[in-house]
């Protein structure tokens, strides 16, 4: 088992007095240790980063990789230290052939954000995070790019490192890895880290790819797609089926078969809506425009990354019982 330096992605951080630093090196697959000797992500201040989509040190679901939808995972931020004005996130792979390979650079996140939602779109800024800025990943594009290690490699480790900063970085969008670290480390009040792992399996029969989802079984890398009809003939005011059971990483595709319907899992849209505490709301319409409806034949898809029970509605017909449920295991 080869060894490598875990702190390549934050060179010099320990010497700058940033808390929560880890040992100089460890074997692949070992969890990092914080300054208080506990495994996990919390620093001496309690500052921590986690994801409801995978455990610390566990396998990243394929939906967040090049074998799936290449979407950024949901992240939760807790106990940001007093005095922090801003946050910066660096995601990299120190096991890459020419380490580190940068998967995401995100900064000027408000200190009170509390979370970084799933599926952050590529681009210079992130509206959902008050204009937080994104840098260039290892492909040269702006925003998140998922794990995609060589198939012949053993499992790679992915470091999600979050800095609590005394002031925003103020860098222009598109800044690179070294520039972001050079600006972040001197401003850091505290630092925390969450670790994911990913290994690509060999291509299966027929060219389909399988990957480890952390459960010990091989699954289709992109997850399953479950079809739900919206207002089909004979059941105009129903989702059919009105309840589906899926796994994390699976997608539900709703298809409008009659006029006047939409799909909403936004709690503010209707009292009947409920979603898991760590899940992000979703809807087929933009922003708060719950009056918007799907055209006949139009589809809407959502990939579920947080386990739990989701109760959703067609807003125009929620009072008439047009309610559906998705159970994610």
**Ranges of each domain in the chain:** 3-202, 225-328
Q: How far, in Å, CA of 159 to CA of 241, rounded? A: 40
More confident residue, 111 or 36: 111
Nearest CA to 43 out of 33, 55, 58 is that of 33
Nearest CA to 294 out of 250, 325, 264 is that of 264
Q: How far, in Å, CA of 139 to CA of 317, rounded? A: 45
Mean pLDDT of 128-146: 96
CATH class held by domain 225-328: mainly beta
- Chain segment 152-169, per-residue pLDDT in tens: 999 999 999 999 999 999
List the 209-212 sheet strands across, edge first: 200-203, 209-212, 218-220
Contacts of 219 (CB under 8 A, 6+ apart): 62, 210, 211, 213, 247, 249
Compute CA distances 138 → 101, 102, 189, whole Å: 6, 5, 27
pTM for the whole structure: 0.62
Find the largest Cα–Cα distance for the chain: 69
Mean pLDDT of 267-277: 95
CATH class held by domain 3-202: alpha beta
Q: Secondary structure of 253-312 in the HEC alphabet?
A: EEEECCCCCCCECCHHHCCCCECCCCCCCCECCCCCCCCCCCCCCCEEEEECCCCEEEEE
pLDDT at 218 over 60: no
Among 32-46, 198-212, 236-250, name the one with the lowest average pLDDT: 32-46
């Amino acid at each position: 088992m080869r060894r490598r330096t875990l702190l390549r992605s934050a060179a010099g951080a320990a010497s700058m007095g940033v808390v929560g630093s880890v040992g100089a090196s460890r074997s692949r697959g070992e969890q990092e240790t914080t300054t208080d000797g506990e495994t996990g992500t919390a620093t001496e201040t309690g500052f921590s980063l986690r994801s409801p989509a995978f455990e610390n040190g566990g396998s990243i679901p394929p939906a967040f990789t090049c074998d799936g939808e290449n979407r950024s995972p949901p992240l939760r931020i807790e106990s940001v230290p007093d005095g922090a004005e801003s946050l910066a996130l660096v995601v990299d792979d120190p096991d890459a052939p020419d380490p580190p390979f940068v998967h995401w650079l995100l900064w000027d996140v408000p200190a009170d954000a509390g979370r970084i939602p799933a599926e952050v779109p590529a681009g210079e800024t992130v509206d959902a995070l008050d204009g937080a800025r994104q840098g260039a990943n290892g492909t040269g594009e702006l925003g998140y790019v998922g794990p995609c290690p060589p198939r012949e490699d053993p499992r790679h480790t992915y470091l999600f490192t979050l800095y609590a900063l005394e002031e925003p970085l103020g860098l222009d969008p598109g800044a690179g890895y070294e520039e972001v670290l050079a600006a972040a480390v001197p401003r850091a009040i505290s630092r925390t880290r969450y670790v994911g792992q990913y290994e690509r399996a060999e291509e299966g029969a027929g060219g389909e790819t399988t990957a480890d989802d952390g459960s010990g079984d091989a699954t289709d890398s992109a997850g399953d797609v479950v079809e739900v009809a919206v207002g089909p003939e004979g059941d105009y005011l129903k989702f059919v089926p009105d309840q589906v059971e899926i796994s994390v990483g699976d997608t539900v595709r709703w298809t409008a078969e009659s006029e006047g319907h939409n799909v909403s899992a936004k709690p503010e849209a209707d009292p009947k809506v409920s979603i898991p505490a760590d899940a992000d709301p979703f809807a087929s319409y933009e922003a708060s425009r719950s009056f918007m409806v799907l055209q006949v034949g139009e589809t809407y898809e959502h990939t579920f990354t947080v386990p739990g029970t989701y109760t959703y509605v067609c807003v125009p017909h929620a009072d008439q019982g047009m309610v559906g449920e998705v159970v994610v295991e």
